[in-house]
């Protein structure tokens, strides 16, 4: 069992930065790939970024490539999403999710979810 708690969301102006954190409980965090998803009002939840259990592979949605980075600290049971050059269209609730071993792009492939953290980017 893995429990996830996101933090770091907030209100930021366009062009600004935020770093989201996702703290995991449980002793198996290091075996889990971690994903960040987001859901904007009226839209479906979409994949943003993912990182393999080992940290040796990452994946990003096209519209965040070059602006967002994902990292993990297995000793601290935490995964991070650094978001730079934020745009109003990045406004959404951001969720972290976990599944064993490898990254997947589809939300149904993830077993554990956090409650989400709101990110609002003003123009």
Query: What are the tens digits of pLDDT across the range 12-57?
Result: 999 999 999 999 998 899 999 999 999 999 999 999 999 999 999 9
pLDDT band at residue 107 using 50, 70 and 90 as cut-offs: very high
pLDDT tens digits along 70-97: 999 999 999 999 999 999 999 999 999 9
Which contacts (CB < 8 Å, 24+ apart) does range 26-31 have?
26/1, 26/2, 26/77, 28/2, 29/2, 29/74, 29/77, 29/98, 30/74, 31/100, 31/101
pLDDT band at residue 1 using 50, 70 and 90 as cut-offs: confident
121: alpha, beta or left? (left if phi > 0; alpha if psi -120 to 50): beta
Q: Tokens standing for 109?
A: 């492939």
State how beta strands 117-122 and 10-13 pair. Answer: parallel
């Amino acid at each position: 069992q893995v429990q996830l708690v996101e933090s770091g969301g907030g209100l930021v102006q366009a062009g600004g930065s935020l770093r989201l954190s996702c703290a995991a409980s449980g002793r198996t965090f290091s075996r889990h790939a971690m994903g960040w998803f987001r859901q904007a009002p009226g839209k479906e939840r979409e994949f943003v970024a993912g990182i393999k259990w080992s940290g040796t592979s990452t994946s990003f949605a096209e519209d965040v490539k070059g602006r967002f980075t994902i990292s993990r600290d297995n000793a601290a049971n935490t995964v991070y999403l650094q978001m730079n050059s934020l745009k109003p269209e990045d406004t959404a609730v951001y969720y972290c999710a976990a599944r064993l071993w490898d990254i997947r792009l589809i939300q149904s492939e993830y077993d554990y979810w956090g409650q989400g953290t709101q990110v609002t980017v003003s123009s």
